[in-house]
Amino acid sequence: ESKDALWQAQPAPCCIVKGRLGGSAITVAAVNALASPLE
């Protein structure tokens, strides 16, 4: 339900993984990319 609600509202750009697995890896990759200096 929460994923569907986020997708409907879209207050900001978002990435939604359908299903129960895989979200943690994507979240870690996104945070690492944002935290690393630009190359």
Q: What is the pLDDT of residue 16?
A: 74
Q: What is the pLDDT of residue 25?
A: 86
Residues shown for the chain: 39
In the numeric block, the tokens 């990435």 are attached to: 15
Q: What is the pLDDT of residue 39?
A: 62
Residues 6+ apart with CB under 8 A from 3: 16, 17, 18
Sequence spans of domains, the chain:
2-35
Neighbours of 32 (CB within 10 A): 9
Please report, for residues 4, 5, 8, 32, the alpha-carbon distance to residue 29 in angstroms, rounded to integers and kept in the order given. 22, 24, 24, 5
pLDDT tens, 1-39? 777 787 787 677 777 777 777 788 888 988 899 898 866
